[in-house]
Amino acid sequence: MVSRGLKEYLQIDLLAMHVLTAIRTQGRFGKGQGQEYTEAYVVEYWRPGFTKWERWKNIQGKEILTGNINTYSEVENALQPIIFASKVRIYPYSQYDRTVCLRAEVVGCVWNEKLLSYSIPKGVQRGLEVDLSDQTYDGRDEGDQLVGGLGQLVDGQRGTDNFRSDIHGFGKES
């Protein structure tokens, strides 16, 4: 049984550091008899050096991902920003008490780069027009420094030479 309390989860131990780019979910088909699926979910992840599980959120701060609408269709959610993790937890989420079943697949590859974290100055924000901060950094905020995490420097996205042309906020022009 799940509800807004986010008590139950499915944990996946990847046994090594991975870059995760998407999560696929599906309900319990049960030869047409299954009625259980998760309508939404939240993702937490772990990697060496963390002292607690980190909650994934997109660049706008949204944490809840859309799940399934039936028991048989697969739903894929692209992770933007991507996740660097050795373990992942998927928490089924519902506004109301309900029974859920969840089949999940994480999409990604082994992270061989050996970079587990970096520290950088916090960045600059000037009004609504200029924001040079790393919205995807998952480390600690220690005043004017970001410490012990990963973010946009390793997300695989190449920004434009003119940051003002970044109309979508992801370092892409299109």
- How far is 78 from 107, CA to CA, in rounded Å? 9
* Tens-place pLDDT, residues 112-130: 877 777 788 887 777 777 7
Q: Tokens standing for 34?
A: 């299954």
Residue 167 — pLDDT band, cuts 50, 70, 90? low
Averaged pLDDT score across all residues of the chain: 84
For residue 132, pLDDT over 60 is answered with: yes
Residue 26 has pLDDT above 80, yes or no: yes
Q: Measured between alpha carbons, how far is 95 from 97 in angstroms, rounded to an integer?
A: 7
Say if strands 54-55 and 64-66 run parallel, antiparallel, or are unpaired: unpaired
Model confidence at 33, pLDDT cuts 50, 70, 90, reads confident
pLDDT range class, residue 159, cuts 50, 70, 90 = low
Task: Note the pLDDT of residue 174.
Answer: 45
Is residue 59 within 8 A of residue 136, CB to CB? The reply is yes
134 has pLDDT over 50? yes
Whether residue 39 is predicted with pLDDT greater than 70 in this model: the reply is yes
User: What percent of the chain is modeled with pLDDT above 90?
Assistant: 42
Position 32 scores a pLDDT of: 66
Q: Which amino acid is at 56?
A: W
Per-residue pLDDT tens over the stretch 55-89: 999 988 899 999 999 988 999 999 999 999 999 99
H or E stretch covering 149? strand 145-149
Domains with residue ranges and CATH for the chain: 10-110 (2.60.120.260), 118-165 (no CATH)
The model's pLDDT over 137-149, given as tens digits with 9 standing for 90+, comes to 888 888 888 888 8
